[in-house]
Structure 1
């Protein structure tokens, strides 16, 4: 099952803005970009990119009933239909790898939902590297000084501080929250045909789906959001631009290895 929505209240710092702290360190460069996303003028990677490799096919899963109301050939879809569909698809695949890249956050997370949501991630933030694990209900956070039990209700200040940070990471680590974000916008515009998107699994044909207007998600202004979805409703990439405390940040999330076995162990 997907994690409860309560940690989203900590997401007012999410979408990278609080994770960077007040560091003046340069933001890590995004490691990957959907091929449908525009390249910056003069970006050398736009001409030097290697030819895409064929994608590894994800295991076939039964289409959830939540997707029956989502018609990708209609040109537009409602967020109230699309969000639950994406959440249901991700839970049905159960496991995968989430690759995060953005203005001040980058890294990878492996996760599964069954029998309970667990994950392990290695991230690079504006404040430095961090590792996190959530296994058997225990959250551990290592920001370079060794693992600390992350618990906002603990008596130890270090554990409380780690717990507050870890709750933000947990939101980012759960791909199901992509569905929550999608559901926050009333209407989404679907491309007329699939386009090629480069993912860690290789090139994938996916529909480009964009929010028709800016919107607010848990009081966070979402200026723009784009999702890439295959014909069988499998999300392969998402890119959001959000604002908080007078700053904006762009975050890209790519999903790969859906349904493949993963081994998740706690930090040690």
Structure 2
């Protein structure tokens, strides 16, 4: 197995989660940035996992967590926005995330029901990698074939793969996004929705910018921008975070929310 070069943003998140004991599932994921935003974050050049259709996509119902969120106001509280985003993503159940940045890019498909599982193909500073989390088993392939990724394993190779995979898992679980967004006190809302080009086509979405820099599990978040539809569906994010004197910008594009998928482990 090659020596992994984990991107700055992933190192920052992995360090914070290790220090605080925070783990995936229903917590946050980094992204966002402010100033002038692109129509949508750039798509990754990494290989795309192909979800297999199963049953029809569920009908979406706005969660109660979004009832206090007023996107027609000039500002909204992170305490209202974060829980709404997280509840919407879980309610939709499935989706695809395209990640793009100087140090990390790729595509991940996921579902929450009956348990959180995902499959992703990413490009890192060390080259391409694939990762899957199915039936409670994490697997990582960094070019030499898939291995079980388990930080508690007796095998040193599986331990090393587990450390790397746990960091990438943060970017693969959109549930982390709600906690990260909720950590900012105030968000500035665009007066009217903007047209955002996504993998699902053109979408009208409000642009929300963090009103000030803030901290998430001791990680400095310099800026964070979120594009969200009137019903609370997140479509894109862009963030700039700092760690150990360096900064990194990462974009995420969400698509295919609620579309049926089948996620298979690496083989």
Tell me the TM-score normalized by structure 2: 0.80
* Separation (CA, whole Å) in 1 of partners of 2:11 and 2:154: 27
* Separation (CA, whole Å) in 2 of partners of 1:59 and 1:114: 12
Please state whether the residue corresponding to 1:66 is helix, strand or coil: helix
Partner residue, 1:177: 176
Partner residue, 1:15: 9
**Aligned ranges 1:195-234 → 2 under 5 Å:** 195-234=194-233
* Separation (CA, whole Å) in 2 of partners of 1:247 and 1:142: 28
Please state whether the residue corresponding to 1:61 is helix, strand or coil: coil
**Aligned ranges 1:45-194 → 2 under 5 Å:** 60-194=59-193
* Separation (CA, whole Å) in 1 of partners of 2:12 and 2:123: 13
Structure 2: runs of 5 or more not aligned: 1-5, 14-35, 43-56
**Aligned ranges 1:243-254 → 2 under 5 Å:** 243-254=242-253
1:243 offset after TM fit, Å? 0.5
Cα pair distance change 1:100/1:38, threshold 3 Å = closer
Cα pair distance change 1:135/1:158, threshold 3 Å = same
Contact 1:15 1:172 in 2 (8 A): no
Structure 1: runs of 5 or more not aligned: 1-11, 20-35, 40-44, 46-57
Deviations 1:202-233 (A, max 9, x none): 11110000000000001110000000000000
Cα pair distance change 1:14/1:149, threshold 3 Å = farther
1:60 offset after TM fit, Å? 4.5
1:199 offset after TM fit, Å? 1.0
1:38 offset after TM fit, Å? 4.8
* Separation (CA, whole Å) in 1 of partners of 2:150 and 2:225: 34
1:185 offset after TM fit, Å? 0.3
Contact 1:61 1:92 in 2 (8 A): yes
* Separation (CA, whole Å) in 2 of partners of 1:14 and 1:155: 28
1:151 offset after TM fit, Å? 0.3
**Higher mean displacement: 243-252 or 226-235:** 243-252
Aligned length: 224
Cα pair distance change 1:14/1:137, threshold 3 Å = farther
Q: Which runs of 4+ in 1 moved over 4 A?
A: none
Cα pair distance change 1:184/1:67, threshold 3 Å = same
* Separation (CA, whole Å) in 2 of partners of 1:202 and 1:14: 31
Please state whether the residue corresponding to 1:140 is helix, strand or coil: strand
* Separation (CA, whole Å) in 2 of partners of 1:153 and 1:166: 13
* Separation (CA, whole Å) in 2 of partners of 1:223 and 1:139: 32
Deviations 1:98-141 (A, max 9, x none): 00001111110000000000000000011111100000000000
* Separation (CA, whole Å) in 2 of partners of 1:38 and 1:143: 31
* Separation (CA, whole Å) in 1 of partners of 2:149 and 2:99: 22
Please state whether the residue corresponding to 2:9 is helix, strand or coil: coil
Contact 1:16 1:104 in 2 (8 A): no
Q: CA RMSD in A?
A: 2.0
RCO higher in structure (CA 8 A, sep ≥6): 2
* Separation (CA, whole Å) in 2 of partners of 1:209 and 1:14: 25
